[in-house]
């Protein structure tokens, strides 16, 4: 009680500072939505919450002042505080500090929750600016087609923003609006915005697909080209339908990338199927060969090697200069050679595809690394080491090349070099579990039991569930090391 009494003069100040902090936080929160019409539910909730915090704080403040004034005066005119009054004043002061603090912590926690990463692809469609929107229905057509054609795809959500983005505002405003939360934990992955202008005979249209978030392996997507059409095509909704179809296939492609990144290869394949079914011949935003390549990768990850090969082959036929398609078809041929009746045929086809990929893209580290794996698989160790070394020269941070070269050195019983390469691979990528396994086995070969055991235990922790047989091998080796160490202690 005495300590609180000493702090009484400062507690209203603390409470006022907390209230100001709440006000600043709420002001920033509301300002982040300024320009959205109508305001989202979260803005209304925030305003109601701010009003409630202010009202409770004022109640505590008024109670504190009233209790203080109601104190009884002694013969000298000094206030005599009653026990009940003192407790009420302390409770009021505590409320003046606790209420703003609780409000601030709530808002801070909510903001932190908003900033956490999410695994959805959120498509934010703004109002497409133009005259007579009820007649032409550009925004409504795009929204309807996106929602109906993408229905059922995993990790896809379409949101509407009732605000237009002008050409003068451009991408910067689109990125700012897309980064704002919608009352639930997400940011927009893509913002679709644009405008159209009409004359009596023609219409100019610009529709942009703005990819805001870095998506794994996302190729450049070129949109926003200004196109001119006859006004009759707008009246017949031909232009609107064509534009919305392009937005559907681009959105489905980005959804495929997201599903692939999350390891859901079946959902990724379905997304790419949707993208291909809505791809029109006149679109230049994303080539057909790119979508075929990514669908082939999704099929490859599911073990559908022949379907993957068909996609890569079609991609090559569509664009013979597409090095990634040659490289990945070579990867399929390389895997098909394992256990085949006549592996030499697959080996020659894989090598030819890798050679073509390297010819088209001399800096393609994947092609050098994959060709090195192919060489090592058929005992061409010198050629394999040369390819892995070339991949390292191109990209010194490419961990698989170090790991693969280390594996060849281990096979050749050059354990010191193997350990050096495994160590570099781990230094680049600490989650590369196979590097721990390889280095652990190499340490065991040179008699360093403690380091071998530590690396093998690290592998056991990092390995994925489908690596059970390697994990069992690591456990057996760790057990053997422990048994050997126990036997050594007994003889001592």
Determine, yes or no, domain membership for 469.
no
Determine, yes or no, domain membership for 86.
yes
Q: Are 252 and 274 in contact (CB under 8 A)?
A: yes
Q: What's 237's domain CATH number?
A: 3.40.50
Mean pLDDT of 399-403: 96
pLDDT score recorded for residue 67:
60
Determine, yes or no, domain membership for 154.
yes
In this structure, are 145 and 235 located in the same domain? yes
What pTM was computed for the model?
0.74
Over the chain, what is the mean pLDDT? 82
Q: Where is mean pLDDT largest: 200-209, 231-240, 257-266, 366-375? A: 366-375
Determine, yes or no, domain membership for 421.
no
Mean pLDDT of 277-300: 86
DSSP 8-state class, residue 66? H
CA–CA dist 140, 117 (Å, integer): 30
151 or 260, which is more confident: 260
216 or 269, which is more confident: 269
Burial bucket for residue 117 (CB in 10 Å: 0-12, 13-18, 19+): exposed
User: How many structural domains are present in the chain?
Assistant: 2
In this structure, are 132 and 250 located in the same domain? yes
Mean pLDDT of 416-425: 97
DSSP 8-state class, residue 218? P
Q: Is pLDDT at 32 greater than 80 in this prediction?
A: no
Secondary structure (DSSP) of 326-340 = HHHHHHHHHHHTTT-
Residue pLDDT, tens place only, 203-247:
999 988 888 766 666 777 777 788 899 999 999 999 988 888 888
Least confident of 2-11, 135-144, 159-168, 284-293: 2-11
DSSP 8-state class, residue 129? B
Domain hosting residue 230, numbered range: 117-262
Domain stops at, among 238, 262, 286: 262
Helix pair angle (343-360, 323-336), 10° resolution = 160
In this structure, are 144 and 195 located in the same domain? yes
CA–CA dist 59, 67 (Å, integer): 12
In this structure, are 99 and 150 located in the same domain? no
Determine, yes or no, domain membership for 398.
no
What percentage of the chain exceeds 70 in pLDDT? Answer: 75
Q: Is pLDDT at 164 greater than 80 in this prediction?
A: yes
Residue pLDDT, tens place only, 386-400:
999 999 999 999 999
Residue pLDDT, tens place only, 85-130:
667 777 777 877 777 777 667 666 655 655 555 567 888 898 998 9
In this structure, are 89 and 122 located in the same domain? no
Question: Nearest to residue 110, comparing CAs of 32, 174, 175, 12?
Answer: 32
Determine, yes or no, domain membership for 177.
yes
Mean pLDDT of 446-473: 92
In this structure, are 82 and 145 located in the same domain? no
In this structure, are 61 and 37 located in the same domain? yes
Mean pLDDT of 9-37: 54
In this structure, are 59 and 161 located in the same domain? no
pLDDT score recorded for residue 17:
60
In this structure, are 100 and 170 located in the same domain? no
Q: Positive or negative, the Cα torsion across 248, 249, 250, 253?
A: positive
Determine, yes or no, domain membership for 276.
no
* Strand, coil or helix: 195: strand
Determine, yes or no, domain membership for 417.
no
467 or 417, which is more confident: 417
In this structure, are 205 and 93 located in the same domain? no
Domain stops at, among 262, 291, 312: 262
Q: Are 190 and 210 in contact (CB under 8 A)?
A: yes
Mean pLDDT of 344-351: 94
In this structure, are 97 and 121 located in the same domain? no
Partnered with residue 336 across adjacent β-strands are none
In this structure, are 144 and 11 located in the same domain? no
pLDDT score recorded for residue 34:
44
Beta strands in 52-184, from DSSP E residues, in sequence order: 72-73, 79-80, 121-127, 156-164
Question: In 337-414, where does DSSP find H-type helix?
Answer: 343-360, 365-377, 381-394, 399-411
Domain stops at, among 61, 81, 115: 115
pLDDT score recorded for residue 39:
41
Residue pLDDT, tens place only, 171-192:
777 777 666 544 443 477 888 9
């Amino acid at each position: 009680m005495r300590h609180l009494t000493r702090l009484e003069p400062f507690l209203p100040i603390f409470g006022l500072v907390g209230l100001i902090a709440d006000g600043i936080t709420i002001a920033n929160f509301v300002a982040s939505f300024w320009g959205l019409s109508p305001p989202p539910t979260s803005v209304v909730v925030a305003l109601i919450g701010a009003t409630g915090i202010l009202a409770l704080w004022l109640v505590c403040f008024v109670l504190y002042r009233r209790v203080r004034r109601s104190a009884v005066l002694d013969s000298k005119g000094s206030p005599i505080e009653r026990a009940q009054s003192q407790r009420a004043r302390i409770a009021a002061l505590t409320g003046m500090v606790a209420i703003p603090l609780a409000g601030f912590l709530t808002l801070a926690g909510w903001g932190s929750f908003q900033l956490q990463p999410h695994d959805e692809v959120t498509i934010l469609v703004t109002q497409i600016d133009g005259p007579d929107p009820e007649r032409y229905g550009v925004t409504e057509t795009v929204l309807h087609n996106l929602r109906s054609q993408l229905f059922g795809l995993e990790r896809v959500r379409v949101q509407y923003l009732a605000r237009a983005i002008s050409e003068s505002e451009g991408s910067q405003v689109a990125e700012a609006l897309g980064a704002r939360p919608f009352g639930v934990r997400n940011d927009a992955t893509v913002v679709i915005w644009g405008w159209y202008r009409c004359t009596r005979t023609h219409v100019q249209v610009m529709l942009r697909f703005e990819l805001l978030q870095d998506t794994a392996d996302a190729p450049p997507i070129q949109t926003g080209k200004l196109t001119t059409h006859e006004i009759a095509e707008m009246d017949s909704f031909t232009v609107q339908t064509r534009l919305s179809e392009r937005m559907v296939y681009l959105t489905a492609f980005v959804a495929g990338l997201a599903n692939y990144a999350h390891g859901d290869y079946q959902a990724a394949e379905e997304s790419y199927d949707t993208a291909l079914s809505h791809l029109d011949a006149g679109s230049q935003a994303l080539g057909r060969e790119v979508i075929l390549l990514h669908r082939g990768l999704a099929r490859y990850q599911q073990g559908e090697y022949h379907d993957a090969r068909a996609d890569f082959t079609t991609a090559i036929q569509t664009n013979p200069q597409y090095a990634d398609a040659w490289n990945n078809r070579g990867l399929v041929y390389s895997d098909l050679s394992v256990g085949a009746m006549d592996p030499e045929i697959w080996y020659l086809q894989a090598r030819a595809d890798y050679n073509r990929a390297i010819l088209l893209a001399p800096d393609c580290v994947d092609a050098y690394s994959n060709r090195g794996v192919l060489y090592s698989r058929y005992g061409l160790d010198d050629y394999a080491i040369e390819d892995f070394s070339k991949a390292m020269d191109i990209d010194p941070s490419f961990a698989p090349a170090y790991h693969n070269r280390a594996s060849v050195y281990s096979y050749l019983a050059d354990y010191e070099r193997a350990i050096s390469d495994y160590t570099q691979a781990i230094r680049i990528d600490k989650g590369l579990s196979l590097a721990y396994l390889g280095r652990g086995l190499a340490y065991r070969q040179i008699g360093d039991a403690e380091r071998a055991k530590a690396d093998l235990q690290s592998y056991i922790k990092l390995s994925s569930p489908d690596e059970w047989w390697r994990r069992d091998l690591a456990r057996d080796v760790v057990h053997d090391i422990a048994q050997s160490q126990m036997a050594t202690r007994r003889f001592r």
